[in-house]
Amino acid sequence: MTEHLYKRLMHAKKVLKPIQSKYRVIYEHPDKPEETAYILIPDPNFMAAALAGWVLPPIDTYQRDRLVPDGEPKEHPYADPIPPMTEEETIEYLIMKDLDPSIWRDYKGNRVIMKIVPKEKIPLDRSLRNSWRIAQ
């Protein structure tokens, strides 16, 4: 049996140097159009593990686990790890892992609700953060 994902991540955190991603994901939730845009910032330890490889499970295991009720055994912690990914592949993996499928897969509108942008595009001044929207 493959070692539990938590143990693989903790080992990777000990041996790998954290890597700051040059990307951010800006998104709006289609079911909450009145809310401000969200920003997904990849964890540096997660980035290091993904780029090094042989730590993270296949993304489809997370997708199947979405359908498993809470309290039931999940597949992804015990799935065989995948090889290294590029930074761009890691961002796509993170989107599919952490964001609701209604944002990245099921959305049928003609409004842009998600963008992957360089971190330099995110304003440093957060004083108007509660009014941020994705430009159309």
Work out the angle at residue 96's Cα, subtended by the Cα atoms of residues 94 and 98, and round it to the nearest 5 degrees: 60
- Which residues, in sequence order, are CB contacts of 61 under 8 Å at separation 6+? 75, 76, 79
pLDDT at 134 over 90: no
pLDDT category at 108 given cuts 50, 70, 90 is confident
pLDDT category at 129 given cuts 50, 70, 90 is confident
AA letter at 42: P
pLDDT category at 111 given cuts 50, 70, 90 is confident
pLDDT at 65 over 90: yes
pLDDT at 1 over 70: no
Q: Of the ranges 16-20, 84-88, 127-131, which one carries the lowest mean pLDDT score?
A: 127-131
pLDDT, residue 12, reads: 98
- Which tens digit of pLDDT belongs to each residue from 26-64? 999 998 888 999 999 999 999 999 999 999 999 999 999
pLDDT, residue 125, reads: 83
